[in-house]
Amino acid sequence: MYSFIKPFIFDLDPEVAHDLAIQSLKFNFVPEYFFSVQDEEMLQNNVFGQQFSNPIGLAAGFDKNAEVYNSLFKFGFGFVEVGTITPQIQLGNPKPRIFRLEEDKALINRLGFNNQGMDTIKQRIKKNPPNNVLGINIGPNKNTKDKITDFLKCYTSFYDLANYITINISSPNTENLRDFHNQELLQELIVQIKKIKLNKQVPLAIKLSPDTEESSYDKILKVLLDNKIEVVILTNTTDQNRTQLMSKNKIEKGGLSGLPLRDISSKMIRDFYKLSKGKFKIIGVGGIDSGESAFEKISYGASLVQLYTSMVYQGPNIVKKIKEELIQILRKEKIDNISKAIGINS
């Protein structure tokens, strides 16, 4: 089905195509049975206190305003992450700001945290309780004078609606956001969040950049481990690594996602898993387009994985495809549950 309509979709501007997808998903007419998989219990796992039907999630950036997550669950995702959400409404950067790199199976975006703001989105989620595990990705407004305060506002607003909250310190499209990879700034941010007294504890995920210098891994890990961070997401998009790309759009500024990110993120997963000795859970992101690429990240130490760009190129049936391929790999390796594959090749 998707192969039939893909040429028409790809004739459209990428952001127009995305907006049409969101509008169509609002009707919630997704035939759930079409995406079901036999023996999916092999993919079930309990991670940071949450039960996941399978480890395949949708990364933040698709459902920015938390409008269609329940429709997306019907595609077979084990979890969906919405956002990035900021305290105030934000229009984002000037258009065009999404570019397809078809030859490279990649995208470049410089959206700039465009979203409807935390108050509107909070009310939407309250009116539409999620049918599965929901992550909420938060960040600061572009022109804020105090990024930490923005993080605190969003965290306080969403803690009781999320199964986990992601602190996005790694988008390349918000000026100085990656400064939080500095040990002292990261420590200050996490300490301020942990100080908040709430009536519910929600797992905290820190989303890191693939462009992080290896020399800084030990300092970042010390902060994460000292503050008992439950989850690390590896990785966000990269604003580097363009030399091997073939598409003419490689010159566009922004974050690169998709297949070119696969090896970079996989190496970082392996490194962080080994250095941390598995003391926090890892969500692996970057270039996942098959059961093999998902299993690679899991075997390197990821407990869960996320995709986005590959769905643009292969359509929503990619979730079913990856799950079926993962089950085949587990059987071949004589592993009866996906949890037993975590870190086996680290």
CA–CA gap between residue 88 and residue 91 (Å, rounded)? 10
Is residue 171 annotated as a catalytic residue, yes or no? Answer: yes
CA–CA gap between residue 164 and residue 47 (Å, rounded)? 11
Task: Determine which one of 71, 171, 293, 299 is catalytic.
Answer: 171
Give Cα 15 distance to the centre of its chain: 19
- Among residues 326, 294, 292, which one has the least CA distance to residue 307? 294
> What pairs with residue 258 in β-bridges?
106
Phi, psi of 53 (to 5 degrees): -70, -25
H helix runs in the chain, sequence order: 2-10, 14-25, 69-73, 118-127, 147-158, 183-195, 217-226, 262-276, 291-300, 309-314, 318-332
The residue type at 180: F
- Residues recognised as catalytic: 171
